Amino acid sequence: MITAGDFRNGVTFEMDGKVMQVVEFQHVKPGKGAAFVRTKMKNVITGAVTETSFNPTDKFENAYVERRSMEYLYNDGELYYFMDPETYDQEPISVDLLGDNFKFVKENMACTVHSYKGKVFNIEPPTFVELEVTDTEPGFAGNTATNVTKPATLETGAEIKVPLFISTGERIRIDTRTGEYLERAK
């Protein structure tokens, strides 16, 4: 059990059957009246953020969110298969649990699989990935004075904006959180 007075950023707890994670908290001691804890929390399964005030003595059940590193193997339509590198167990995961940033993941990449009580609710790809540009228009020499970009298709099929000097066949680094080009891969 955890009390609201023990809240810290990142703490996960169960409230009304939902798994919540503390994003921000503030202990408030007004001049008159009882102290309270103002909390901004996120539902880890749906991603919804809410703000609530609690009495510091309110008790909640601890929620242990399991985070496992698993390797993405392949997909067969609606199911994506991930393998635990230690036990070699394969786990099928539905396509609707994958976020928009999963379009930057290719086979054999390690991802973090989040689960609660054995039920998977989120797949987190690596923060930075190196991918090959499979299709883009050729850039023009000397047109580098401004931050002009052009569309490029990557080996996973995802489309992003890249600078004019990037050409087909080059490997680039991408931030999967924002989907933005970072630099040429070394």
- With a threshold of 0.85, does the pTM exceed it? no
Cα separation, 116 vs 145, whole angstroms: 50
pLDDT in tens, 26-56: 999 988 888 999 999 988 878 889 999 999 9
Q: Which of 69, 60, 82, 77 is nearest to 16 (CA)?
A: 60
Q: Indicate if 58 and 91 belong to the same structural domain.
A: no
Q: What is the pLDDT of residue 78?
A: 85
Q: 12 lies in which domain range?
A: 2-62
The domain boundary, picked from 78, 95, 124, lies at 124
State both tokens at 14.
């169960």
Which of these ranges, 68-77, 134-143, 169-178, has the smallest mean pLDDT?
Answer: 134-143
Separation CA 2–CA 135 (nearest Å):
53
Provide the domain count of the chain.
3
Do residue 146 and residue 174 come from a single domain? yes
User: Which one of 22, 38, 62 terminates a domain?
Assistant: 62
| Contact of 106 with 70, CB cutoff 8 Å | no
Domain CATH number, residue 20 = 2.30.30.30
**133/173 same-domain check:** yes
Cβ atoms of 111 and 125 closer than 8 Å:
yes
CATH number of the domain residue 172 falls in: 2.40.50.140
pLDDT above 80 for 142: no
Question: How many Cα atoms sit within 13 Å of 33 on the Cβ side?
Answer: 7
Both 132 and 166 in one domain: the answer is yes
Same structural domain, 13 and 58:
yes
Same domain, 104 and 141: no
Tokens of 13: 């707890």
